[in-house]
Amino acid sequence: VKVVVVGNPANTNCLIASKSAPSIPKENFSCLTRLDHNRAKSQIALKLGVTANDVKNVIIWGNHSSTQYPDVNHAKVNVKGKEVGVYEAIKDDSWLKGDFIVTVQQRGAAVIKARKLSSAMSAAKAICDHVRDIWFGTPAGEFVSMGVISDGNSYGVPEDLLYSFPVVIKDKTWKFVEGLPINDFSREKMELTAKELTEEKETAVEFLSSA
């Protein structure tokens, strides 16, 4: 069985679900950060006047919350038939390190404010994308964002957290994308969201032990 958790706080709910069902391998649990991933792709596409399908390898690090870190340092975009890095294509570092990140982090709240309803269809589409990739695998040369157990990661994220990483999937098994260089700006954002997840986990464990 594969378990996908969507209800918020998705990461911590997924971790607790995993701990509550120890007979299921931890790796079979994942939580949805694909909606954030899709939103990040869309913001880049809108900025460049291309389609979201022209953008690949954005990363959502960490929690499905306002501390998540949408990272485009390793992302590529197809502009007029040529694949270039997003930083090179946009040529606006202050936007990429500022408004872009905030927009993706706050998008869910902005949609609720505008519609008085959640972005249910966008979430449904993201769940379909997430499950399709688990089943069929990720395309060659592409990775996706998924909240998975942090055990054994090479990015310094504490063990035993349900944290969003870049992953590739083959034969219904995900693997961390390894070896991506992480700059100081990214490291700080990744640690901030890990800290929030650690605190959420402690609160949940404390609450469940007293229940």
C-beta of residue 167 within 8 angstroms of C-beta of residue 146: yes
Single out the residue of 147, 152, 148, 144 nearest to residue 170, CA to CA. 144
Average pLDDT of the chain is: 96
Residue pLDDT, tens place only, 60-79 = 999 999 999 999 999 999 99
Residue 32 in this model has a pLDDT that exceeds 90 = yes
Residue 46 in this model has a pLDDT that exceeds 80 = yes
Single out the residue of 122, 153, 155 nearest to residue 39, CA to CA. 122
Domain with 132 in it: 3-210
- How far is it, in rounded angstroms, from Cα 153 to Cα 55? 25
**Share of residues in the chain with pLDDT > 90 (%):** 90
Side-chain-side CA neighbours of 188 within 13 Å: the count stands at 4
Active-site residue, 130 included: no
Number of compact structural domains in the chain: 1
C-beta of residue 28 within 8 angstroms of C-beta of residue 48: no
Residue 108 in this model has a pLDDT that exceeds 90 = no
Residue pLDDT, tens place only, 149-167 = 999 999 999 999 999 999 9
Please tell me the predicted confidence (pLDDT) of residue 211: 65
Mean pLDDT for the stretch of residues 26-53: 97
Single out the residue of 10, 9, 68, 14 nearest to residue 36, CA to CA. 68
Please state which of the ranges 79-93, 113-127, 175-189 shows the lowest mean pLDDT.
113-127
Please state which of the ranges 52-61, 104-113, 130-139, 146-155 shows the lowest mean pLDDT.
104-113
* Of 176 and 112, more confident: 176
Amino acid symbol at 167: V
DSSP, collapsed to helix, strand or coil, labels residue 47 as helix
**What is the length of the chain?**
211
Instruction: Assign residue 160 the CATH number of its domain.
Output: 3.90.110.10
Confidence of residue 209 (pLDDT cuts 50, 70, 90): confident
C-beta of residue 188 within 8 angstroms of C-beta of residue 64: no
Instruction: Report which secondary-structure segment, H or E, holds 31.
Output: strand 29-31
Residue 107 in this model has a pLDDT that exceeds 90 = no
Of 37, 64, 74, 130, the active-site residue reads: 64
> Distances from the Cα of 30 to the Cαs of 8, 103, 208, in angstroms?
13, 24, 21
Please, which residues bridge with residue 76 across strands? 56, 85
Please tell me the predicted confidence (pLDDT) of residue 181: 98
